[in-house]
C-alpha cells in the first residue's frame, strides 16, 4: 500500500541539521504515526513521503520554505518586563504561549536587558535546511474515527484539527 491522502502512516525518523547534529529521533521509541494529507508533518517531508511504501527507507532534505519557514526578524520584539506576570521569574530560554486560539504562538526569551525582554516568535528551526532519515514501518487505511478527528467533525473544532478538544472533554479522538 502506498502513502497517499487518508492513509495512516508509521515512520521512524532521525532529524539532523546541516552539520549532521541529531535534533530529534524516534529511534528507540515507538514509530511516529500520522494521518497523511492533512498537514500533520512539515510540508516538504510529507510531500517526499507521498507514493512510498512500507519497508522503504529514504534520506530527504527539506528547505526552510517547506519546513518551518524562513527566519523573520519581524518576529523578534522587545517588550517591557511589566507586560509579564510579576510573580514569574523570566530567564533566557524560557518559552511562553501568547494569544489564544488560532492566534496563539510560542515565543522564546532570547535576551534580558534591565526592564526590557526580547522574545522571538520564530520556530527554533525556522530558516534551517533539515535532513531526515526515514524508515516507513506501516501504511494502512485510516479508520472513519481517525478521518473524522482530522476533519474536526467529532468535536466541533473549527480549525480542522481540534486545537484542544475543549468542546468535547477530550474524548473525541482528536490529537
pLDDT in the model for residue 153 = 54
Confidence check: pLDDT of 164 > 50: no
The answer to whether the 7-68+127-151 and 73-120 domains have the same CATH topology is no
Strand-pairing partners, residue 2, are 53
The residue-averaged pLDDT of 110-133 equals 96
Locate the domains of the chain by residue range: 7-68+127-151, 73-120
Confidence check: pLDDT of 173 > 90: no
Q: Say what the pTM is.
A: 0.76
User: Alpha-carbon distance 74 to 69, whole Å?
Assistant: 13
Q: What is the DSSP string of 116-163?
A: EEEEE-S-TTTT--EEEEEEEEEEEEPPHHHHHHHHTTTTT-SSSS-S
The residue-averaged pLDDT of 20-36 equals 96
Q: Yes or no: is domain 7-68+127-151 CATH 3.40.50.2300?
A: no
pLDDT in the model for residue 85 = 78
Mean pLDDT of the chain: 87
For domain 73-120, give its CATH number from 2.40.10.330, 1.10.3720.10, 2.60.40.10, 2.60.120.330.
2.40.10.330
Amino acid at each position: 500500500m502506498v502513502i497517499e491522502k487518508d492513509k495512516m502512516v508509521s515512520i521512524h525518523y532521525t532529524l539532523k541539521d546541516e552539520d549532521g547534529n541529531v535534533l530529534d529521533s524516534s529511534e528507540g521509541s515507538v514509530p511516529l504515526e500520522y494521518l497523511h494529507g492533512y498537514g500533520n508533518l512539515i510540508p516538504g517531508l510529507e510531500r517526499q513521503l507521498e507514493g512510498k511504501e512500507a519497508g522503504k527507507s529514504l534520506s530527504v532534505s527539506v528547505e526552510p520554505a517547506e519546513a518551518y519557514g524562513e527566519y523573520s526578524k519581524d518576529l523578534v520584539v522587545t517588550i517591557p518586563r511589566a507586560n509579564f506576570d510579576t510573580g514569574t521569574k523570566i530567564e533566557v530560554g524560557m518559552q511562553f504561549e501568547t494569544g489564544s486560539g488560532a492566534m496563539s504562538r510560542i515565543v522564546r526569551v532570547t535576551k534580558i536587558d534591565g526592564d526590557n525582554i526580547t522574545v522571538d516568535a520564530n520556530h527554533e528551526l525556522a530558516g534551517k535546511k533539515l535532513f531526515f532519515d526515514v524508515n516507513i514501518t506501516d501504511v494502512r487505511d485510516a479508520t472513519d474515527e481517525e478521518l473524522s478527528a482530522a476533519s474536526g467533525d467529532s468535536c466541533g473544532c473549527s480549525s480542522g484539527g481540534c486545537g484542544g478538544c475543549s468542546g468535547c472533554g477530550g474524548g473525541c479522538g482528536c490529537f
